[in-house]
Structure 1
């Protein structure tokens, strides 16, 4: 039996086991996928102690960044974002990938969002870097990053320069005045409050992708729903990034489609609570 797991702390709320188990059952693979509570201080020792039965790992923050020095190679997306949410073991080699961008793009495609010119990212943590790369893939040339702490968006702005995207930092209170963008992506934790009422025109015209899904609705998600706006649930991102992880664990490459991929995606979607 091959073994896989999602690591993080806290990890009890994760829906990754349900998604992956559904996928491997559909593919006829006798693979085990569990959730394991691990913090950053224990990560290196845990990985070093794994035996040959282990195929790979899914990682939550902040492990996505802390794992990088432990890897033998990473894909271009992980290099851009400085984070790997997927590790695959091949013999003694450890390779890292970032499937978060594909997860964002896939969730937006489900909501018929295929093109972005100007966007807003709320929050400036590691997930904001993935959000910026996803917006760039969809054609964004201008992105505002709304933060609570001045200067927090500097890493996002630096990545924007590498991508050719103009990034402007603004306080989170600017949500009350923004009304000229195509998409808003919130990277705030699910428990984060929102001390500002978003501009009604923004809510009515720009869909919100809220990467958080527990608890639901989040404060920012509730503000969009109450204003009659369109919300792309964070579970959609989780679903599509997990599908890419399954491709990696099964085929070794996120670009190589699975046998019966439509069926696999369908059972994974059904597995979401």
Structure 2
């Protein structure tokens, strides 16, 4: 039987599937850089049906959990406290131990904003007016929250109202539509492949969604269009290839992963995240442009 030292502090990433997760690479690098020699970070296969029981089994040595699909909504429901961002999005990718239970947060919002900023896309810019969010689930609501958070710094009297088009296979989830409208965004819903003349596309669906790309706009006349596909792994997705062929600037899902993890590290450890050490560890196993160099896998 494995004996856990009394002073050990434990963290992990949960989800299904989870074997491909790169979160251990990031968090372990942070622990080393911060000198947290008794901290551990692992991964565990947990689905929505097993989540409640798995969470109940955690003892006081557990400090924090990172949550990926399909656990972001059930994680929020299990928390005794939640940040405004988690409540607004109806989803949590982070649980941190507090008195009486768990605090829920959603650091994906910061990850999306930072990944776009890395390629010069400022969500507060007047140039980002027409946005497409592909999908309408938990990560789509994080994208909506990122747009909403940047809205306060825009001069709404001087620019056109920002519109977001939710591109979905069937119907957009009503809670996502309601969140966008509550944030003051104009909302449209389109079928997959009905691309508007967008400045920014944020895709939150897997490559298997089969997005039609024939009508994806082409960049011309010096206009900058930016595409963030939150998926990453073994190579470029069809959407990334299509965007690159049509002149779009590509933001990277691995950058979103990195920056959302820095917020998680700060929440779990109470210390500033060592961004440089985490980035070095991540990009040692991830190709700078497209995919995973080793079998370490995705999020």
Shared fold per TM-score greater than 0.5:
yes
The residue that corresponds to 1:152 in the other structure is 172
TM-score by length of 1: 0.89
The residue that corresponds to 1:83 in the other structure is 91
Work out which of the residue numbers 105, 126, 143 in structure 2 matches 1:97: 105
Whether 1:241 aligns to 2:281 is no
Q: Deviations over 1:211-265 (max 9, x none)?
A: 11134311211211232322111111111000100010011xxxxx617x45445
Q: Is the 8 A contact 2:130 2:163 kept in 1?
A: yes
Secondary structure class of the residue paired with 2:189: strand
Whether 1:191 aligns to 2:208 is yes
User: C-alpha distance in 1, partners of 2:139/2:19?
Assistant: 20
> Number of residue pairs matched?
263
Comparing 200-209 with 31-40, greater Cα deviation is found at 200-209
Secondary structure class of the residue paired with 2:27: helix
User: C-alpha distance in 2, partners of 1:117/1:269?
Assistant: 32
| Equivalent residue runs for 1:66-145 within 5 Å | 66-114=74-122, 115=125, 116-139=128-151, 141-145=162-166
In structure 2, runs of 5+ residues without a counterpart are: 1-7, 152-160, 287-299
Larger radius of gyration: 2
Shift in CA distance, 93/271, structure 1 to aligned 2, threshold 3 Å? farther
Q: Deviations over 1:155-190 (max 9, x none)?
A: 322111211111111112212xx22x3211111113
Secondary structure class of the residue paired with 1:205: coil
Work out which of the residue numbers 2, 13, 21 in structure 2 matches 1:14: 21
Whether 1:182 aligns to 2:195 is no
Structure 1 residue 206, shift from structure 2 partner: 1.2
More helix by share: 1
| Equivalent residue runs for 1:157-236 within 5 Å | 157-175=177-195, 178-179=196-197, 181-201=198-218, 205-236=224-255
In structure 1, runs of 5+ residues without a counterpart are: 252-256
Secondary structure class of the residue paired with 1:201: coil
Q: Deviations over 1:50-104 (max 9, x none)?
A: 1111111001122110122321111000100100110011343311110010000
TM-score by length of 2: 0.82
Shift in CA distance, 134/268, structure 1 to aligned 2, threshold 3 Å? farther
CA RMSD of aligned residues (A): 2.0
The residue that corresponds to 2:272 in the other structure is 258
